[in-house]
Chain A
Amino acid sequence: MEPFTKLTGIAAPLPMQNVDTDKIIPARFLKTIKRSGLGVHLFDPLRFNKDGSEKPEFVLNQEPYRKAEIIVAFENFGCGSSREHAPWALLDFGIRCIIAPDFADIFFNNSFKNGILPVRLPRAVCNQLIEDTKMGGNARITVDLERQVVVRPNGEEIPFEIDAFRKHLLLNGLDDIGQTLQHSTSIDSYEARQEQDRSWMPTTMTAA
C-alpha cells in the first residue's frame, strides 16, 4: 500500500448526502477478479449517460476536477454495501482523500486499507471547503496527515482527528496483515484457551 503523508491537490465538490456504494460503483462492475481498472466506472450513474457519453454537469467531467485527488461531500458517504470495489474505484481514478461530516462504517474501514484517507469534519467546515473547491484550479487543498490538518487555499488550517494506529499504518504504508502476524503468539495462546472454553464450536471440514 502506498503511504499517505501529505497531499496537495484539486478537490472536487460533491455536495450530496448518502452517496451510496451503488452510486460509487454499481454492482454490475463488481464482476472482476482484479483490484485495478475500476476508475473508468467510478460514479457511473452520476457521470455517464446510458449511451456511455459523459454527463457534462457532473463535476468529475469538468476541468480541473478531472484531475481531482480529493472529494468533499456531505453526510454518510459510502453507505450501503461492503464492496471494497468502492475505494478501489476511487483510488484507480486518483482520489486519495475524502472529506465529509461522517462516513458509513464499512466504507470508512475499507478506505484506510487502500491508502485513502477519510477525514471527518463538521458540516459547516465542509460547506466552506465546497465553496473553496469552486475556485477551480486555484482551489488546491492540502491534507497533512502527519500534522492532522487540512489547509484551505487561503492558508487557514483546520485540525482533524484520526486513530493513532490507523495514522501509523497509513503514514508508513503498512500492510495490516503483516502487523497482526507480529502478534501470532497471542493468537496461538488465544486459540489454545478457546479449545477448552469453546470446545463446542463446530468446524466446517465435513462440508467439502
Chain B
Amino acid sequence: MSASKPRTLFDKIWDAHVVERLPDGTCILYIDRHLLHEVTSPQAFEGLRAAGRKLRRPDLHIAVADHNIPTKGSRIPKDIQEEDSRIQVETLEKNVKEFGVPYIPILDKRQGIVHIIGPELGLSLPGTTLVCGDSHTSTHGALGSLAFGIGTSEVEHVMATQTLLQAPQKNMRIDVTGTLGLGCSAKDVVLAIIGKITTAGGNGHVIEYTGDTIVGLDMAGRMTVSNMTIEGGARAGLIAPDQTTFDYIKGREFAPKGEAWDKALAYWKTLPTDPGAHYDTQVFMTSAEIAPMVTWGTTPGQVVPVTGIVPNPMDIEDEGKRAQHQRMLEYMGLTPGQHMTDLAIDVVFIGSCTNGRIEDIRAAAQVAKGRKVADGVQALVVPGSGLVKAQAEAEGLDRILLEAGFEWRDPCCSMCLGMNPDKITAGQRCASTSNRNFEGRQGIGGRTHLVSPAMAAAAAVTGRFADVRQMG
C-alpha cells in the first residue's frame, strides 16, 4: 500500500469530521462543540420551535450571555436598563430552559465572553470542530480546533442536526519567524499580518499560522492571533497543538481527565501538518516587519507602526481606492502625514475576546504601574470572564489599575461593539484592544484605533499614542 498523501492540520480535522460527501463536493461536517450567545440564537430557537424540532445533542452545546451585559451595576437580566438588551438576555434564558441547553448564568463566576470561556473551561480542544454564531469563533483555532463563525440559520442547523453543510476551504499558511522586538505582542503580530495580506487576503481559506514567532507565543497570545483571523478574511485560523497547548488544557474544568486525557493526548499529537503537505497559498513574514502597531483607518488592515505617519491618499493610483481612503481620513479626523504619536485620545478600552485574558491585563498593569491616566481620558479595563477578573484581583492588578485611574469593570463584550452601555460618542478617539475599527463599531461616529494592551495602557497614561518601547 502506498503511503498516504501528506495532509495539513486542517485537512486532518476536516477528514475526521466528514459525515457524508455530497455529489457536488459539499460535505456534511460533524460539529463537536457549539457555543451560543444571546444575539445570534433567538431566531434559531424560534425556527426550531416553528418546525417542531429539538436539539439533536444538547450535551455538546453550551450557552452564555455576553454581548448585552452591563459592566457595572446590577448584572441581573431584569435590571438591564435597555429594553431590547433585556429581552434578548431573558429570551436566551427562556430558550435554554425550554430546549435543555447547558447554560452558564450571568452571576456564575465562570460567566464571560464566549471566546474567552471556551478555552478557559477546557471546552475548546485540539482536533475538534467548534462553531458559534460569532465571527471571532476563529479564536479557538489557537488550540488546534477547527473553529469558525456561522450565521443564525447555521446555528439552527447545528442544533437540529449536529452538522453543517460546508464546502471544503483552501489551505493557507502564514509563517512568521524571528524573535519579537521589545514592546511587541501577539496583537502587533496579527495587525502586521492583516496589514500585509489585507482584509480579504484569507477569503476562501483556512489559515494555519506557523513559524517560531507563533510557536513562541503563550496560549493567550496565540488566541489573540487566531481571534483576528476573520479580519484577514479567513473564517478559521489554526495553530498546531504542542506542549504549550497541552499544558494549558490539562486540568481545566471540562478537559478530558485520566484515561481519557491519555487517549486524547495520543490523538492530538498526530494532528500537526505532515512534512510536504500542500498549502494553496503561503505568506512568509519575519519579526523585523513587526513593531508596536496602530491602525489609522476603518478596516483592520490599515495599520502602521506607532512611529509611522497617516498615509497620503494621493499616493494611491486606483481612483476608487483613493476616494475610499479620503473618506476614511475624514471619518477618522486625520490628515495625511500626521504622526501617530501626535494623536490625542479620549478613551481607552482594554478587554474583548481579542485581549481580555489575564496576560493582557498583566501587560496593561505593567505599563500603568506608578503612572496616572492622563487628564480628560476615560480608561476602561474589562476582564474577559469572571475567572479572569478573580485571577487579576488575586494578583492585585485591579489595585494597580485603579490607583492609576483606570476603571475596573465586570466581564462582558463591553466597548468592543455598541450593544451595551459602554460606547464612545461621535468624534471621540479611542485606543482599543478590540478587533474591529469599522465606522460606528464602538458607537455612532466613534473613531477606533486598534492596539495591543500595553500600547493601550501607554496611550491612557500619555493621553496620546505613545511608543511603549520608550516607557521603560
Contacts and interface: CB of A to CB of B under 8 A. Distances in A.
Interface stretch (B35-43, B180-188, B397-405): B35-43
Interface string A164-181: 111000000001110111
Interface of B: 19-20, 22-26, 28, 30, 32-33, 39-40, 42-43, 46, 51, 53, 56-62, 67-68, 82, 84-85, 87-88, 91, 101-104, 122-123, 125, 128, 133-135, 137, 148-154, 156-157, 160-163, 165, 167, 169, 199-200, 203-204, 230, 233-235, 254-256, 260-261, 263-264, 267, 299, 320-321, 324, 417-419, 426, 436, 438-441, 444-445
Interface string A5-29: 0000000000111101011001110
A187 B163 contact: yes
Task: Give the interface residue-count category, chain A.
Answer: 35 or more
Contact of A110 (B153, B255, B441): B153
B24 A18 contact: no
A18 B165 CA distance: 26
A113 interface: yes
Contact of A183 (B28, B204, B320): B28
Shortest 7 CB-CB contacts between residues of A and residues of B: A31-B84, A113-B153, A110-B151, A84-B151, A82-B149, A33-B42, A203-B59
B102 A205 contact: yes
B298 to A, nearest CB: 8
B188 to A, nearest CB: 22
A157 interface: no
Contacts of A203: 59-60
Given A32-B84, A204-B61, A204-B102, A106 B19 contact: no
Given A113-B151, A177-B156, A202-B122, A187 B162 contact: yes
Nearest to A29: B84
A165 to B, nearest CB: 5
Interface string A77-103: 001111110010000000000000011
Contacts of A206: 102, 254
A104 interface: yes
Given A20-B299, A165-B24, 4 more contacts: A106-B135, A200-B264, A202-B254, A207-B62
Nearest to B57: A191
Contact of B62 (A16, A35, A82, A204): A204
A75 B200 contact: yes
A25 to B, nearest CB: 11
A183 B444 contact: no
Contacts of B82: 31
16 contacts: A16-B320, A22-B439, A23-B438, A26-B444, A30-B39, A31-B68, A33-B91, A84-B152, A102-B203, A105-B233, A109-B154, A166-B26, A177-B156, A183-B28, A200-B267, A204-B61
Contacts of A62: none
A176 B166 CA distance: 11
A177 B161 contact: yes
Contacts of A23: 438-440
A82 B153 CA distance: 11
Interface of A: 15-18, 20, 22-23, 26-28, 30-35, 45, 50, 74-76, 79-84, 87, 102-106, 109-110, 113-114, 163-166, 175-177, 179-181, 183-184, 186-187, 190-191, 194, 198-208
B259 to A, nearest CB: 8
Contacts of B39: 30-31, 83
A15 B203 contact: no
Contacts of B53: 177
B111 to A, nearest CB: 11
B302 to A, nearest CB: 10
B30 A80 contact: no
Contact of B125 (A30, A113, A201): A201
Contacts of A183: 19-20, 28
Nearest to A180: B161
A200 B263 contact: yes
Contacts of A79: 199-200, 233, 299
Contacts of B418: 26-28
B464 to A, nearest CB: 26
A208 B165 CA distance: 29
Nearest to B265: A200
Contacts of B264: 200
Contacts of B263: 199-200
A205 B96 CA distance: 12
A81 B438 CA distance: 11
B135 A181 contact: no
Nearest to B51: A177
Contacts of A165: 22-24, 26, 165
A58 B35 CA distance: 38
B30 A194 contact: yes
B151 A17 contact: no
B32 A201 contact: yes
B430 to A, nearest CB: 15
Contacts of A26: 418, 440, 444
Contact of B235 (A75, A87, A106, A179): A106
Contacts of A199: 260, 263
Contacts of A208: 101-103
B295 to A, nearest CB: 14
Nearest to B105: A208
Contact of B445 (A50, A83, A179, A207): A50
Contacts of B256: 200-202
A33 B149 CA distance: 19
Nearest to A207: B102
Contact of B321 (A17, A114, A204, A205): A17
